[in-house]
Each structure stands twice: as structure tokens, then as C-alpha cells.
Structure 1
Amino acid sequence: MRILHVLTTLDVGGAEMHVLKQVQGQVARGHEVRVAYLKGQGTLEPDFRAAGASDVRHVPGGPLFPIKLRGLLGWCDLVHSHLLKADALTSAAVLLAGKRKRYLSGKHNDEQVLNRPLVGLVHGMIGRVPARTIVLSDHVGRFIEEKGRVPRTRQSRVYYGLDPAPFEEAARSVDRAAILAEFGFAASDVVFLCVARFARQKAHEVLLAATAEARRTNPSIKLLLVGDDPFGDERERAFAVARDLGLSDAEGRGAAVFAGIRRDVPSLMAAADVFVMASRWEGLGLVFLEAMATSRPVLSTTVSAIPEVVVDGTTGRLVPPDDAAAMAAAMVELAGSAELRSRLGTAGHERVIERFGLDVMVDETLRVYEEVLRRSGHGG
């Protein structure tokens, strides 16, 4: 099968990392894969090439996009777009190329812009173009049906999958003290790690306020923030909040450390004690699976698909969104009991193995592809 993936960006993010793993798995099963992206710095372009994509190219969005994509559409048996801008432009391109019956859309999040009635109405028309829409959680499926006006009968749900091996290995071999020392933390500190792009969705200001409040009870609580904001100023906004709260100095160090984008996330997960994210919404959250694969408990919110992944009281703690006091209380509870952290982390690891395996994700996605090709009259 010749598969074309079209993404809005190839910069670091949950959707992009998800597609990277899909590409790797699809190539390993003998399929040829090419990738196009519309904008951004293309940070992950080398990673997609290393995963086996035979072609990775920047195809700028705009009125000429359908023409620019024509060659790739002529090559592929099936095209799969990801994220709203890529969905909209790819829909136009496949209609012009006559490939509607072999086109799928991937929904990675409950995109809040769809709450606007006019946007939802337009999306409902665009959402009828793909032969199938793959959603990554039941919550996203319900949201896309209600707000994006794509019926569940046109959807297939495929959970994110994860190869736990790099995270399990990191948990076995990490030099925790050395990693923590890099950020100015002591081995006796209880480190909460957040890996997320800086955006309103992730509510970093709530997490920072919770950290400041929790530290009044337990000063050993520290916060490590990994990520950046390549398209805006949300990182600078969070940095200002941290300074105002007395958590960080002018260099982004202190009780809250801004570490930027890192390539050693498995080691950071293993060195941390708890993974934390104050999300206002999430399609699923690949980083939750990464933390659970490292046997780390998760502290997050009760929104969107997070309860499909993190079981409150079993694999972590979930609190209401935008509630810094509730999050602070959970931080204090988790920081105060190594036994509790160990129990929740062990249960999380077991849940990843049972329900969110990488092979399951790749194989289920390919089954959807094959069904689309059969219905189109094209042999898969």
C-alpha cells in the first residue's frame, strides 16, 4: 500500500508524534509512506525520514495547495490528513483529484474552535469529504459528532499506541541524581514533570499557581517544564507567571525550571516522581501513556478523554480543570507518600501494556485503511 500522510506541521506535538509512530509501523509492515506538511519549522522531518518515510516535504498551504499536492495524490493509494488546517486543504485537493473514496481524516483532539456554530457548520460539510474519520478516543468521537457534525457512523475509534520499551529501559537505568542536578534539583526533592507545548489548552498558569500553593506545605516539591511555543508567546506568559510567583529566576531556574524542548523525555520521565498536566481539554494525551509506561503516576484533570486513559485513584489523580487549589492538594498528597506513587505508577504501567500497545494501534489503523480501499473498489 502507498500511503500519504498530510499534517499541518512537523513540529513536536502529540499529533505529530502519533503520526511518526504510525509511519514507523506502516513501513515496518511493508508499506511505502510519504509525508507532506503545510507550515512550521519541520523539526521532526529527520525523524520521519529515519522512521522510513520515502519522501518528506513542505507543501505550503494556500490557494495553490491542491495543485502542489497533485503529484503526491497521483502516487498514493490512500491519503490520511491530520489536524484541522490539513483536513480542510486536503479535502479540497482530493475532491479536485477524484480521490475522495480513498481519503481519511484523523482527529487527534477536541478542537475548541468547533464550539463556534459557524465553524462547526463549515466543518460538517468538510467532514463529509473523507470516506472515514479516525478518532483517537470515544470522547473525541462524541465531540466531533456533536460540534464537528460528523456522524459516529462515519468514524472509527483507534486509541493511541505506545512502544513502552524506551520508557521501561529508562526506568531501569536512569541516573536520577545526575539528571536532577542538571536542573538544580536535589535527590530528596519530589519532582513533578510537565511535558507539553505552551498553549492555553495546557493551562500552565494553573499548574504554576498550584505548585506555589503546594510548596507552602511541602517545599521539597519542584516542577520541571519541558516544551516550547513555536507559534506564539505562551511560554513567555508562563515564564512571567513563574517569576511573579517566586518560582523561577530570570534564567528560568529555581523551584520551577523551564527546560525547553528535550530529546531525552524517557530519561526525564524516569527521573521525575510524578507526571502532571493541568489540561483544559485533551484528545487523549500521548504523554500520559509515556508517563504510565515509565511507571510514573499521573496528576491531571477530569476533562475530555483523560479519564479514558488515567483512572482516578488507580493510576493517578484527576482534579477539576482550572482549580489550582485542588491540584495543589493532590500534589501535596502525592509528594507525601512514595508508597502511593509506586502503587499508582505500577498500575499505570500495567494499563498501558493491556490497552495501549503500539502494534494494536498500527494494525487497527491499517484495517481501517484496507476497509476504505475495499469499499473504493481499489485492492488493498
Structure 2
Amino acid sequence: MSEPKRVLQLITELRPGGAERIVYELARGLSGERYAVEVCSLRPATGAVTGWLKEAGIAVHSLEMTRKLDLGAIGRLRALLRREAFDILHTHLFHANLIGRLAARHGIPPIVLGTIHIAERRFRPWHFWLDRLTLGPRGIEVCVSEAVREFTRERARIAPERLRVIPNGVDLGRFAPYADDAVRQAARHELRGEFRLPPETRVAVAVGRLEGQKGYADLLEAWARLRNDARPVVAGAALIVAGEGRERPALEAQIRRLGLGDRVQLPGHREDIPKLLAGGDLLAFSSHYEGFGLALVEALAAGLPVVATAVDSVPEVLGDSPAGRLVPPRRPDALAHALAETLATAPDRREALAAFARARAQAFSLPKMLNAYGTLYDELLGKRRDSRA
């Protein structure tokens, strides 16, 4: 049997996030007889994902970038690629895509592909120009959703045949225990105990970095409207936003201004997302723009209904599942109405929605994603062999 092909996954940093989770799953899931996968971050490898990778036996490198204009990082990456003789360089997110292509422009390694994880709605026209320029006429990019593919085709003017779609995958096995009613009830009891909530409290959970993209300011405005609802289960509901990021001070100030201190909590980054979601009653997803939305699939896998903004990939991920309720973005009034109606759902309907949610999550299983990337790697390696024949 031939030696496994060596693959380097390159990403900006290793703090917990959607793209970082996918890099971890690719490294862990593809390493074996066919591929030997390692990971490299542009920034110092100090995030929690570093620990996950090392625990899984995955080698982690860092280019030790501490500023964006560290052009020496290109040379450090080029040296790493030559020294370790990687066969494939797989990059993730804009800065890693750019630096990876520049480092490998002389053909080492022979195969370079990137994954686009976001429909970047901020004003960054140079991103699209540089993406198109460095991709070249034969390069391949993977988009994590059809929405990202269409967005990239329009904004970066990249030919459709250069854009492949591989939806993100979630390890559904992490959520399987919570399909058992006793396990789920224990998670609900533990969640309310941890956050000092009455046992009957309905709880909405939001998961994601505390960044402007996630629209948490809208979510807080919507949540403030619920306290005037005539239904006690709605007026007394609690919101838990799990994540960390730059918006924390602003969100904490908004919570104080709106008088939500007893109804909204920001516990920071959590490692126990399956249990946290299983203990909740719904996922609140208020993003202004997205690429995929791993939290959507995680919530579905946990059996939760979802109230989400209808942006980019979100309708694509939820499909026509009854477990998903879509609202316009940046509309706290519409978000509040959808949250209230979902919080007030009758118990028998909640059980039906849980079954619908778990069924929809199956469309985004981890093996499907790993098989798709493995097939793409094989295709690119095969084309490389044919070109040398």
C-alpha cells in the first residue's frame, strides 16, 4: 500500500468558530490510510481548537503572525511546505487563502485549494479582487453552501466551474444521547440549575462569536419586547448566548440599558454545546450574513426548533423543515414575534418539531462532508498524475 498523501490545513487562527471546527473535523476525520493531515495557523496557535487537535494526535504548526502585513509569513510557510513535503495545501478563510497561494506559487505543493466559509457582506472589494487574481485560471475553491457559491461568483467574478459546493458536516453522534427523553430531561434540569432559573422556565439558546455579524444587538432588542407578552411562558423566558468576542462590552451595556440582567446571560465560550442545546427550548439565530451556520445543524441535531434570519445559506440549511421559522434580518419586531410563538409551542407540537429537526440534521452529517472532500482530493491528485504521464 502506498504512503498516505500529506495534507496541510491552513487557517487564520484556532479560536473556536465555525471554520475552525471544520478544520478540526477534516484533520481528525481524514487522517488515516489515505491521508496524513496536519494543521497550521497564521496567528499563534493559542486557541482552544489547538488543544482539540493535539488531543486527537494532529500535529499543529504556526506561522506566528501578530500583524496582518507580516510578509515574512509567506516565506515561513514556503519553508514549512518544502520541509514537510506536503502533497496538498488546503486553505480556509481569506487571509489563509491568500498567503497559502502566494507561498505555493512555485508549485510546492502541487495541489492548492481553498474553502470559502462566508458570504462576506462587509465592504471588502479588495478581497474579491485578490481572490480572483491569486486563484488563477485553473484553481479550485470550495464553497460551504450554494449561497456562498453564488455570492462568490457574482462578487469575485470567478467562473462557476472553479467553484465546488461541499456543505459543512456535523458530528451528529455528539447529539445522539439527547434523543433519549431521560437524558434530555437531565440536561434541561442541569441547565436551569446552572443558570439559577425556575424549573419551568423556557430557554432560548444562541451559539456563536460575539461579533457584529451575528446580530445579537437585534436579538436583545427582540428579547426586551417579550416581557410584555401576555403568556407567562414567553414573558418569563430566558436567553443564553454562548460565545465570546469583541462585542461583549457593547452587549453587556445593552443588556443593562434594556433591563434584561435577570433574563439574558452571556456565559462565554462553552465546550458542552450538545448538552447546552439539549437543555434549551429553541435556537435563536439572528445573523446579518452567513456562510453556512453550523449552530443551525447542531440545534437541529439536538432536536430544537430554530428561529433564524433568512440570510444567505440559512434557508438552504433549514430547507422546508417545520422545525425552522425564518424572519427578515435586522427586524427585532419580526424576530420577537417568531420567538414568542415558538416559545409558546404546546408540548405535543414540540415533540413533533424535535423529530422534524433531527431528520433535517441528517442532511449535514460529518461522513458526507468527509467523503466529499476525500473525493475531491482524489480527483485533484488524479489530475496531477495524468498531467505528469
TM norm. shorter chain > 0.5: yes
Q: Which residue of 1 aligns with 2:152?
A: 144
CA 1:67–1:293: 2 relative to 1, 3 Å: same
Task: Give the match for residue 240 of structure 2.
Answer: 224
Partners of 2:32 and 2:279 lie apart in 1 by 31
- 1:138-177 matches, cutoff 5 A: 138-172=146-180, 173-174=183-184, 175=186, 176-177=188-189
Distance 2:280 2:270 in 1: 14
SS at match of 1:224: strand
Q: Distance in 2 between matches of 1:284 and 1:307?
A: 10
Give the partner amino acid of 2:100. T
Q: Which runs of 5+ in 1 are unaligned?
A: 249-253
User: How many Å separate the matches in 2 of 1:187 and 1:239?
Assistant: 25
**Residues 71-86 of structure 1 mapped to structure 2, 5 A cutoff:** 71-74=79-82, 75-86=85-96
Question: In 2, are the aligned partners of 1:27 and 1:52 still within 8 Å (CA)?
Answer: no
2:24 and 2:280 map into 1 onto residues whose CA distance is: 25
Give the 5 Å matches for 1:3-152: 3-28=7-32, 30-39=34-43, 41-53=46-58, 55-61=59-65, 62-74=70-82, 75-95=85-105, 97-99=106-108, 101-113=110-122, 115-128=123-136, 131-152=139-160
**178-187 or 76-85, larger mean C-alpha shift:** 178-187
2:328 maps to: 320
Contact 1:20 1:48 in 2 (8 A): yes
State the alpha-carbon separation in 1 of the partners of residues 236 and 160 from structure 2.
47
The letter of the residue matching 2:52 is: D
* Offset, 1:28: 4.3
Separation (CA, whole Å) in 2 of partners of 1:156 and 1:312: 23
Compared with structure 1, are the counterparts of its residues 118 and 34 closer, same or farther at alpha carbon in structure 2 (3 Å cutoff)?
closer
C-alpha distance 130-276 of structure 1, shift in aligned 2 (>3 A)? farther
Paired residue secondary structure (1:6): strand
Aligned position for 1:251:
none
2:360 is aligned to 351
C-alpha displacement of 1:300? 0.6
Q: Against the structure 1 CA distance between its residues 224 and 171, is the aligned structure 2 distance closer, same or farther, given a 3 Å change threshold?
A: farther
2:379 is the counterpart of 1:371:
yes
With 310-319 and 328-337 compared, the bigger mean Cα shift is at 310-319
Q: CA RMSD in A?
A: 1.8
2:321–2:357 Cα contact (<8 Å) kept: no
Contact 1:292–1:349, Cα closer than 8 Å, also in 2: yes
Aligned residue among 263, 267, 274 for 1:259? 267
Q: Deviations over 1:71-99 (max 9, x none)?
A: 4322211010001111111111011x423
Aligned partner letter, 2:121? Q
Larger mean CA deviation between 334-343 and 115-124 belongs to: 115-124
* Aligned equivalents of 1:289, 1:215: Cα separation in 2: 29
Deviations 1:263-314 (A, max 9, x none): 1111100100001110011111111111111111111111000001113561
- 8 Å contact kept, 1:101–1:372: no
Structure 2, unaligned runs of 5 or more:
none
Specify the alignment match of 1:240 in structure 2.
Answer: 253
Structure 1 residues 161 and 313, CA, compared in 2 at 3 Å: closer, same or farther?
Answer: closer
Residues 116 and 262 of structure 1: CA distance in aligned 2, closer, same or farther (over 3 Å): closer
- 2:296 corresponds to: 288
Letter in 2 for 1:49: K
Q: How many residues align?
A: 367
Distance in 2 (CA, whole Å) between partners of 1:9 and 1:120 is 21
Change over 3 Å in CA distance of 1:100–1:132 after alignment to 2: farther
Note the alpha carbon deviations across 1:324-364, whole angstroms, 9 max, x for none. 011111111011113333322211210112x1111110011
CA distance in 2, matches of 1:127, 1:66: 16
**Distance change (3 Å), C-alpha of 1:288 and 1:28:** farther
Give 2:316's match in structure 1, choosing from 302, 308, 320. 308
Q: Tell me the secondary structure at the aligned position of residue 187 of structure 1.
A: coil
The amino acid across from 1:79 in the alignment is L
| Residue of structure 2 equivalent to 1:203 | 215
Q: Give, as a single letter, the amino acid of the residue that structure 2 aligns with 1:43.
A: A
Aligned amino acid, residue 345 of structure 1:
A
State the alpha-carbon separation in 1 of the partners of residues 17 and 125 from structure 2. 27
Measure the CA separation in 1 of the matches of 2:78 and 2:108: 11
Deviation at residue 29 of structure 1 after TM alignment? 5.2
2:204 partner SS: strand
